[in-house]
Structure 1
Amino acid sequence: MPTVVVIDGVKVQFYWDDHLPAHFHVEFGEYRAQVAIDSLEIINGWIPAPQLRKVKTWAATQKEHLLKAWTVCRSDLNPGSIA
């Protein structure tokens, strides 16, 4: 699973050939969640609110890049990093 960015210790990742809806995975210590790209809401799991806010703030400006990374990763290719 490629990590596209780390935001204050929170890894933002995609899984190869993942299921719909388009989403990314976040990992912070023992916490894990899946975040929908379109709404930026958690669709599964949980991470602490301060970390979630940071991820959402970043992701709100990166939706186009996140959707592209989702598509690339579903094709079993590495999406690279997102700044």
Structure 2
Amino acid sequence: MPEICRFFGIVIHMYFDDHNPPHFHVEYQDCRTIIGIRDAELLEGYLPAKQLKLVQAWTILREEELLSNFRDLGLDIKQWRKIDPLL
């Protein structure tokens, strides 16, 4: 499971050949969650409010890159790219 980005103790991952809708996985301390790319919606799990807002802001800023990674991770080539963190 490639690490796509890391910022403020938040780690973003995507799985190879993952299911739709386009999403990514987030780890923060003991919290695990899944965030939808197109709407930055919390799909599953829990994040503290502050970290959730940071992840949602980052998702909105990086939507096209996230969608591209999600698509490319599903290809046989399984290519992926790191995405710049929220600063």
Aligned equivalents of 2:20, 2:31: Cα separation in 1: 21
Give the match for residue 83 of structure 2: 82
Normalising by the residue count of structure 1, what TM-score does the alignment of the two structures yield?
0.93
Corresponding letter in the other structure for 1:56: Q
Aligned equivalents of 1:68, 1:74: Cα separation in 2: 10
Corresponding letter in the other structure for 2:80: P
Given that 1:34 and 1:43 are in contact with CA atoms closer than 8 Å, whether structure 2 keeps it comes out as yes
Give the match for residue 18 of structure 1: 18
| Amino-acid identity (%) | 34
Which segments of structure 1 move beyond 6 Å, counting only runs of 4 or more?
none
Per the TM alignment, residue 18 of structure 1 is displaced from its structure 2 partner at its CA by 0.7
Per the TM alignment, residue 82 of structure 1 is displaced from its structure 2 partner at its CA by 0.5
- Structure 1: gaps spanning 5 or more residues: none
Cα RMSD (Å): 1.1
